[in-house]
Amino acid sequence: MDRKVRVLFVCLGNICRSPLAEGAFRKLLRERGLQGRFEVDSAGTGAWHRGEAMDPRARKVLEEEGAYFPHVARQITREDALRYDHILAMDRENLREVLRRFPEARGKVRLLLDYLGGGEVPDPYYGDLQDCREAYWTVEAACRAFLAHLEGDGARGAPPAGEA
């Protein structure tokens, strides 16, 4: 591989779902010794939490799962839309917002759960710790499927047929 594969996870505020997905993916890469082949980050479509730490429940879940990493919330930028090979949104609203603001990202943006057959990652923000755990388990399974897809189709392959 000539350069690192760039993967960006996106949710609304970048304090719950996208950091959970980023942590899960980083953990999978670490377990497989692939971290040097990827550049991984996350961002939010909204700016409300920019500069803040991740939600304490998300941090606790990542710590429990051995997937914690230092994180400061940020908002997605045009540079991100141009730079990243894969932009994986947690739900349709955020997917539409990325495409509305950055039409040049078309073809790189899809729902993370497309790699598990479709759907959206439920937002645990208004829930409890268990909701955060369940969101983690969902994104971890999707990240496994995404990584298997990359390993099977090459790092810049299309999503599973009929999706995105």
Q: Is residue 163 part of a domain?
A: no
Exposure of 67 in the CB half-sphere (CA atoms within 13 A): 25
Q: Is residue 159 part of a domain?
A: no
Q: Is residue 92 part of a domain?
A: yes
pLDDT above 50: residue 150: yes
Q: Which domain holds residue 123?
A: 5-153
Catalytic, 17? Answer: yes
- Overall residue count recorded for the chain in this entry: 164
pLDDT above 50: residue 37: yes
Exposure of 89 in the CB half-sphere (CA atoms within 13 A): 25
Q: Is residue 109 part of a domain?
A: yes
Q: Is residue 84 part of a domain?
A: yes
Q: Which of 6, 16, 17, 55 is catalytic?
A: 17
Q: Which two tokens stand for residue 150?
A: 């990359």
* pLDDT of 161: 44
Q: Is residue 29 part of a domain?
A: yes
Catalytic, 123? Answer: yes
* pLDDT of 153: 64
* pLDDT of 159: 53
* pLDDT of 10: 98
* pLDDT of 23: 98
pLDDT above 90: residue 15: yes
What is the CATH classification number for the domain harbouring 53? 3.40.50.2300
Q: Which of 123, 132, 133, 143 is catalytic?
A: 123
Q: Is residue 158 part of a domain?
A: no
List, in sequence order, every residue forming a beta bridge with 40; answer none if it has no partner.
Answer: 7
Catalytic, 132? Answer: no
pLDDT above 60: residue 75: yes
Q: Is residue 164 part of a domain?
A: no
Work out how many domains the chain is built from and give that number.
1
